[in-house]
């Protein structure tokens, strides 16, 4: 693995890239070598939650499943926030059961996310994907044990350079999500910001990958 893409919705099947491809229970691609699977807060369907969780538990048990997610909290969602909290709590507990990290989508609900993680005493790694916020929130999340993943906003927002550079080297990942940017482009800018070579950055992320995604 030269590159690790923490979160993408498109499998490109490149030998030098390990891609964690996002999957949903009702739209599952059985041909993927590695995936995460979760119930997204924007796509909660209360009429089929029982079957969604049955599929989720079945797929989460497989070795190809590296993480639960993306799941999380989003105050733009039409689904009541209490239901979102309940669905996320069940996914956190499932992740604990299978000892798989969690990939989080969070919009306008970081305090509630932190509170839920701490209330449940979650021990597995929890990664905020697509982080684009200010340093104060980054520090709060890091202090509460979260990992941060950076993608297109790192390329689009120069103000994120300072935030990114202040994340410890063992607490971040890189991703493409749904953007047209390649993971190579994200790595190139991240290495430039850190003032290290791409090879050094690859080793850093490889080490973090081993500690987060390899069962001890």
* Mean predicted lDDT score pLDDT of the chain: 97
3-state secondary structure of 41: helix
Provide the whole-model pTM: 0.97
Kindly give the residue spans of alpha helices, DSSP state H, lying in 104-215. 110-120, 135-143, 152-156, 160-165, 183-194, 198-213
User: Using an 8 Å Cβ cutoff, are 23 and 37 in contact?
Assistant: yes
φ, ψ (nearest 5 deg) of residue 98: -95, 0
Dump pLDDT digits (tens) for 136-176: 999 999 999 999 999 999 999 999 999 999 999 999 999 99
Torsion of CA 78, 80, 81, 82, to 10 degrees: -160
Annotated binding site: 70, 105, 129, 177
Annotated binding site for a divalent metal cation: 70, 105, 129, 177
Sign of CA dihedral 134, 43, 174, 146: positive
Report all structural domains of the chain as residue ranges with CATH numbers, in order of start.
3-195 (3.20.20.140)
């Amino acid at each position: 693995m030269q590159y690790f893409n923490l979160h993408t919705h498109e499998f490109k099947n490149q030998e030098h890239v390990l891609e964690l491809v996002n999957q949903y229970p009702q739209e599952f691609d059985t041909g993927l070598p590695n995936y995460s699977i979760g119930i997204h807060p924007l796509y909660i369907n209360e009429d089929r939650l029982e079957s969604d969780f049955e599929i989720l538990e079945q797929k989460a048990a497989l070795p190809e499943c590296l993480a639960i997610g993306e799941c999380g909290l989003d105050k733009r969602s039409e689904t009541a926030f209490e239901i979102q909290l309940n669905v996320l709590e069940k996914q956190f507990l499932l992740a604990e059961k299978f000892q798989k990290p969690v990939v989080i989508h969070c919009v306008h609900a970081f305090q509630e996310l932190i509170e839920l993680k701490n209330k449940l005493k979650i021990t597995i790694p929890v990664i905020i994907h697509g982080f684009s916020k200010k340093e104060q929130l980054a520090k709060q999340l890091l202090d509460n044990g979260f990992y941060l993943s950076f993608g297109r906003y790192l390329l689009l927002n120069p103000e994120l350079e300072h935030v990114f550079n202040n994340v410890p080297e063992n607490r971040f990942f890189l991703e493409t999500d749904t953007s047209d940017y390649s993971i190579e482009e994200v790595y190139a800018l991240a290495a430039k910001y850190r003032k290290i070579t791409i090879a050094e950055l690859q080793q850093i992320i490889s080490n973090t990958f081993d500690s987060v995604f390899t069962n001890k």
